[in-house]
A and B are shown apart, each in its own frame.
Chain A
Amino acid sequence: MSVMSLEEAVDLIENGSLICLSGNLLYRIPAAFVRELARQGKRDLRVMKTAGGYDVDLLCGLGCAKEIIAGFVSFEAFGLAKNFRRAVEEGRVKYSENTCYSVIAALRAAAYGVPFMPIADISKSYFVKERGFKFVENPYGGGKVLTVPAIKPEFAIIHVQKADEDGNALIYGPWFEDVLMARAAENIIITTEMIVPKEDLRRDIDAVWIPSYKVRAVVEVPKGAYPGACPPYYEMDFEMMEKYASLDEDGLRKHIWEVKP
Chain B
Amino acid sequence: MTVTLLDKANYMISSMARLLKDAESAFMGVASFLPFMAIILAKRLYNPDLIWYSIVGYNPNPKHLPMSTVHPWISKYCDAKLQLAELFDISARGELDVVFLAGAQIDQRGYLNNSHIYIGERRIQLPGGAGGALLHATARRPIVWQGKHDTRIFVKEVQRITAAGKPYRVFSPLCIFRFDDDLGRLVVDSIHPWSSFEEVKENTGFEVNDAPPTPEPSDEEIELIEKIDPHGIRKTVLE
Chain B's interface size range is 35 or more
Contact A101 B70 (CB under 8 A): no
**8 A Cβ contacts from A1-39 to B:** 24-28
**8 A Cβ contacts from A119-133 to B:** 119-122, 124-127
Contact B83 A175 (CB under 8 A): yes
Contact A71 B128 (CB under 8 A): yes
The answer to the question of A187 belonging to the interface, with a C-beta cut-off of 8 Å to chain B, is: no
Contacts of A28 in B (CB 8 A): 72
A257 to chain B, nearest CB (A): 28
For the complex, give the distance between the alpha carbons of A122 and B125 in Å: 21
Q: Of B72, B137, B138, which one neighbours A174 at CB under 8 angstroms?
A: B72
Chain A's interface size range is 35 or more
B52 to chain A, nearest CB (A): 15
Known interface pairs A27-B71, A51-B130, A125-B164; A100-B115 also in contact (CB < 8 Å)? no
- In the complex formed, the residue of A with least CB distance to B130 is A72
Contact B127 A74 (CB under 8 A): yes
The answer to the question of B30 belonging to the interface, with a C-beta cut-off of 8 Å to chain A, is: yes
A49 to chain B, nearest CB (A): 11
The answer to the question of A219 belonging to the interface, with a C-beta cut-off of 8 Å to chain B, is: no
For the complex, give the distance between the alpha carbons of A72 and B161 in Å: 15
Known interface pairs A125-B161, A173-B56; A72-B128 also in contact (CB < 8 Å)? yes
A226 to chain B, nearest CB (A): 15
The answer to the question of B200 belonging to the interface, with a C-beta cut-off of 8 Å to chain A, is: no
Contact A119 B83 (CB under 8 A): no
The answer to the question of A156 belonging to the interface, with a C-beta cut-off of 8 Å to chain B, is: no
For the complex, give the distance between the alpha carbons of A30 and B115 in Å: 26
Contacts of A122 in B (CB 8 A): 133-134, 137, 164
From A75-83, A193-201, A210-218, A244-252, the one touching the partner chain is A75-83
The answer to the question of A204 belonging to the interface, with a C-beta cut-off of 8 Å to chain B, is: no
The answer to the question of A89 belonging to the interface, with a C-beta cut-off of 8 Å to chain B, is: yes
The answer to the question of A50 belonging to the interface, with a C-beta cut-off of 8 Å to chain B, is: yes
Known interface pairs A101-B134, A124-B161, A231-B72; A88-B125 also in contact (CB < 8 Å)? yes
For the complex, give the distance between the alpha carbons of A84 and B129 in Å: 15
For the complex, give the distance between the alpha carbons of A76 and B124 in Å: 18
Contact A72 B127 (CB under 8 A): yes
Can you pick out 8 interface pairs between chain A and chain B where the beta carbons lie within 8 Å of each other?
Answer: A24-B55, A28-B72, A95-B128, A100-B84, A121-B137, A122-B134, A122-B164, A124-B111
> Which B residues are closer than 8 A to A by beta carbons?
30-31, 55-57, 67-68, 70-73, 75-76, 83-85, 88, 91-92, 111, 115, 123-134, 137-138, 160-164
